[in-house]
Homo-oligomer: A and B are copies of this chain.
Amino acid sequence: MPTVDIHTHMYPPTLLSLLRTRSHVPYVRTFPDQVEAGERLVILPAEEASTGTSRGRPMGPEYHDIKQKIAFMDLHAIDVSVLSLANPWLDWLAKEEGVEVARGVNDDVEGMCKAYRGRLYHFGTLPLSADVGVIVGEVRRLRGLRFCRGVVMGTSGLGEGLDDSRLDGIWRAIEEAEMVVFLHPHYGLPGDVYGPRAGDYGHVLALAMGFPMETTIAVTRMLLSGVFDRFSKLNVLLAHSGGTLPFLAGRIESCIAHDAHMKKAGALENRRDVWDVLKKNIYLDAVIYSDVGVKAAIDASGADRLMFGTDHPFFPPLEGEGQEWLSVTSNNNAVRAAMGSDVQGVKDIMGGNAVRILHLDS
């Protein structure tokens, strides 16, 4: 049974060239006053505001060079990776350039998968700034690509979130194509929720809290707006084990059941509850860094719906630390600790589920 990494990002060369021409986030630049810091990747408005070498992050070859991805996979005994474009994907493109860039990026990544046949698959990227018809067209085109198994998507949708009914045509096309939506956070929470001392804690609060909460809000908005009622076969893979969805699912249902406004609006009748959706529409990655989290994810969604991931190339080892990535070993250990003596269960989460769900054997 292969080990499969379904949460692993890159900025393929086509996109990187574009990022190097830009002067607003997201962009890649070597700052004249800090040439020694090398190329920096700046993807968030908050990063742009800061000064010094804290502007963005170092942009090494692991972000764009497929050879580095393969070397990382070899080092950690990962047999297969399902690549996805890193955030913020193509959310920021102007309407008219969207489709061309998306096609270029998707074909670029498809080419990598072809070059490393059997080791790489991918989730494509949609030109969400384009018209819905154009986006649907790209979904159908992706369906025809040999190594594409779904689409990666942020929480912004067409700019108003994933509970926007204008997305229905896109959900329908994805459902018909039997592709998976890999839902991933990018925007986090407004910086002031972390208080006046947040800077003392580096990126900890924004990454540890903002990302998972963004994902949880996004998928709950899909639930509340009836997306899973209308598209009962839509499959959504949630990053970071669902953000906080497995833990908060009970509270979400309780809040719905107690909401006078929703009851009055008739929204409580004939709705699928979060548990039903968790078990039939949601897949979760196992990027949660603890056996407590892995167990809760399994309890909520099922051991047959959890899939190992690394989040590479993010969370690299700190300077002076070993070659092997702590972020990888801690997720690997979490799966093993959660499953105990269930060796087959470990194999399923580490790769078997991904092979079955994403048809990686065909």
User: Could you say which residues of chain B place their CB within 8 Å of the CB of A288?
Assistant: 247, 250-251
A133 within 8 A of B: no
| Chain A positions 245 through 285: 1 when the CB is less than 8 Å from some CB of chain B, otherwise 0 | 01111111111111111110101000000000000000000
A227 to B150 CA separation, bound complex (whole angstroms): 45
Give the contacting residue for A224; candidates B160, B201, B249, B289; CB below 8 A. B201
- Minimal beta-carbon separation of A325 from chain B (angstroms): 9
Given contacts A246-B247, A247-B288, A261-B202, A161 and B225 within 8 Å (CB-CB): no
User: Could you say which residues of chain B place their CB within 8 Å of the CB of A145?
Assistant: none
Which of A107-115, A211-219, A347-355 interfaces with chain B? A211-219
A322 within 8 A of B: no
List A286-301 residues whose CB lies under 8 Å from chain B.
288-293, 295-296, 299-300
Given contacts A208-B248, A327-B254, A260 and B319 within 8 Å (CB-CB): yes
Are B289 and A258 in contact (CB-based, < 8 A)?
no
Are B195 and A330 in contact (CB-based, < 8 A)?
no
Chain B's closest residue to A202 (CB) is B261
Give the contacting residue for A250; candidates B192, B209, B315, B334; CB below 8 A. B334
User: Could you say which residues of chain B place their CB within 8 Å of the CB of A205?
Assistant: 217, 220-221, 224
What is the copy number of this chain in the assembly?
A: 2
Count residues on chain A whose CB falls below 8 Å from chain B CBs: 73
Are B193 and A246 in contact (CB-based, < 8 A)?
no
Are A197 and B221 in contact (CB-based, < 8 A)?
yes
A101 within 8 A of B: no
User: Could you say which residues of chain B place their CB within 8 Å of the CB of A1?
Assistant: none
User: Could you say which residues of chain B place their CB within 8 Å of the CB of A249?
Assistant: 290, 292-293
Give the contacting residue for A255; candidates B203, B216, B244, B299; CB below 8 A. B203
A319 to B258 CA separation, bound complex (whole angstroms): 10
Give the contacting residue for A161; candidates B196, B203, B259, B290; CB below 8 A. B196
User: Could you say which residues of chain B place their CB within 8 Å of the CB of A248?
Assistant: 208-209, 212, 244, 293
User: Could you say which residues of chain B place their CB within 8 Å of the CB of A186?
Assistant: none
A163 to B194 CA separation, bound complex (whole angstroms): 10
User: Could you say which residues of chain B place their CB within 8 Å of the CB of A326?
Assistant: 254, 257-258
A-B complex: 10 closest residue pairs judged by Cβ atoms: A250-B290, A202-B261, A250-B289, A247-B247, A202-B259, A296-B296, A161-B195, A254-B289, A208-B255, A244-B244
